[in-house]
């Protein structure tokens, strides 16, 4: 089975870095430039996991987490936050919204893949 991941980040550079880290491992990656675009592509991408930034225009990462958790089809999938934010209050807010995990940028490719595998039980 191919694992599908939806990665949402407003930085083209960060989307490229995530793609460079994950595509060689065989993950099927779907990219979105902000939370609105991510939610618009959620049904088509049908991801096993969502990775989202926090600080984005139109819809931030907290909005993404809440919107995914409010769906009937994807409410239970893991959501990893990938952000420059590292404050305890932000992490707590994301956890309360329904985030599964938190990774601070810049990220280590191997650690990102290990985290994905762990949360997906691979």
| Domain residue ranges in the chain | 4-108
Per the prediction, the chain carries an average pLDDT of 95
Topology, domain 4-108: Rossmann fold (3.40.50)
Task: Answer whether residue 1 shows pLDDT above 90.
Answer: no
Strands (E), 1-122: 4-8, 28-32, 49-52, 79-83, 101-104
Question: So what's the pLDDT on residue 38?
Answer: 97
In the numeric block, the tokens 């675009």 are attached to 37
The three-state secondary structure class of 118 is helix
The whole-number average pLDDT for the span 62-71 is 97
pLDDT, tens digit (0-9, with 9 covering 90-100), for 33-63: 999 999 999 999 999 999 999 999 999 999 9
pTM for the model stands at 0.96
């Amino acid at each position: 089975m191919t694992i599908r991941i939806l990665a949402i980040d407003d930085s083209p550079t960060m989307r490229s870095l995530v793609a460079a880290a994950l595509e060689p491992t065989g993950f099927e990656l779907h990219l979105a430039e902000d939370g609105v675009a991510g939610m618009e592509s959620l049904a088509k991408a049908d991801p096993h996991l969502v990775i989202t930034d926090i600080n984005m225009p139109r819809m931030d990462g907290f909005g993404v987490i809440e919107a995914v958790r409010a769906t009937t089809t994807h409410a239970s999938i893991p959501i990893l936050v990938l952000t420059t934010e590292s404050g305890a209050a932000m992490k707590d807010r994301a956890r309360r919204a329904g985030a599964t995990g938190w990774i601070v940028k810049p990220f280590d490719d191997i650690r990102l893949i290990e985290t994905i595998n762990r949360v997906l039980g691979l």
